[in-house]
């Protein structure tokens, strides 16, 4: 996946996240919606991490295509 594809995926996930949040409105989300929202948030974290890896590799003169999606366990433990 190149940078453009990752950025497009991020955009699609953000759109889905907003739709899920808007659909819930002021009501608590049902279990399926809450689970999907969590999955979207994790996928977003993974995409952002992949994009940062690709950019760092490119900056260091390495092949950005060698960057890989990290597991949810890894990206969800990052401190912000």
Quote the pLDDT of residue 41.
Answer: 95
Cβ–Cβ < 8 Å for 55, 68: no
In a domain, 62, yes or no: yes
Q: Is the pLDDT of residue 27 over 90?
A: no
Task: Please say whether the beta carbons of 46 and 75 come within 8 A.
Answer: yes
What is the predicted pLDDT for the residue at 76? 86
Tell me the residue range of the domain where 24 lies.
Answer: 3-75
Contact (CB, 8 A) for 67 and 59: no
Give a yes or no: residue 80 inside a domain. no
pLDDT of residue 79: 64
For the segment 36-54, the average pLDDT, to the nearest whole number, is 96
pLDDT value at residue 80: 59
pTM of the predicted model, to two decimals? 0.87
> 17-26, pLDDT tens digit by residue?
999 988 766 6
Q: In sequence order, what DSSP letters do the residues of the chain get, joined into one string?
A: --HHHHHHHHHHHHHHHHHHHHHHTTSPPPHHHHHHHHHHHHHHHHHHHHHHHHHHHHHTTS-GGG--PPPHHHHTT---
Please report whether residue 27 resides in a domain: yes
Is 68 among the domain residues?
Answer: yes
Residue 22 domain-assigned? yes
Tally of structural domains, the chain = 1
């Amino acid at each position: 996946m190149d940078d453009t594809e990752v950025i497009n995926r991020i955009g699609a996930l953000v759109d889905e996240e907003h739709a899920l949040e808007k659909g819930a409105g002021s009501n608590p989300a049902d279990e399926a919606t809450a689970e999907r929202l969590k999955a979207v948030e994790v996928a977003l974290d993974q995409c952002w991490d992949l994009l940062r890896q690709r950019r760092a590799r490119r900056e260091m003169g390495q092949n950005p295509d060698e960057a890989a999606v990290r597991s949810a366990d890894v990206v969800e433990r990052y401190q912000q």
